[in-house]
Amino acid sequence: MKLADLRQEYMRAGLAEAHAHADPVLQFERWFHDAQAAGVPLANAMTLATVSPGGAPSARVVLLKGIEHGGFVFYTNYLSRKGRELAAQPLACLVFLWSELERQVRIEGRVAAIPAAASDAYFDSRPLGARLSAWASQQSETVRDRTTLERSLAAMREKYGERPPRPAHWGGYRVEPEALEFWQGRADRLHDRLLYRRAGGGSGWTLERLAP
């Protein structure tokens, strides 16, 4: 296989300024609904990129769990690598790729923990195994083997039964966007790229087209 020979022509759609919503969050919701309607698997999967205090980037795929107050919400262990990095540098980039629609969205912004009550409500809605796992797993830490994790889960099941409380080290973050870029694949690599930037620290947005 020659990776350099892997090519795809993009022909599905275009993205014109006249058809883009003035509010980029509503434009995102429009595209997200399109992805769901098209049957894209895990349409809410997104790459979350963070940076260490020393400037080293890291990225992983997490799931979007809400769009609230104009921000993008996900949940994780606050003591994980991403949690530690966000505590030191509360900035992140999100990337959604919906290849079936030849679309991607990139979101940059500041990150803040959501209120504890909101994290409690979401935690209580999770399957029991996922709630117990939040106690059993010290996310991102070295673990001896799979058996160690399974024993820890069994111990948490014994301790908390059917009603484990939310651990203080687990909860939600909201990415508050400062910039959102919508990318639509086009023929001849002349892709459409529309970039929204928050205007003057207020609630308005500017819109500009980027060269592909």
In 10 A of CB 69, how many CB atoms? 10
* Calculated CA dihedral for residues 109, 114, 118, 121, nearest 10 degrees: 80
8: exposed, middle or buried (Cβ count in 10 Å: 0-12, 13-18, 19+): exposed
SS3 177: strand
Active-site residue flag, 189: yes
Q: Are strands 192-198 and 71-77 parallel, antiparallel or unpaired?
A: unpaired
Structure tokens at 139: 């996310």
Residue for token digits 């599905």? 12
Q: Find the catalytic residue in 189, 193, 198, 209.
A: 189
Backbone angles phi, psi at 18, to 5 degrees: -65, -25
Q: Which residues are marked as active site?
A: 189
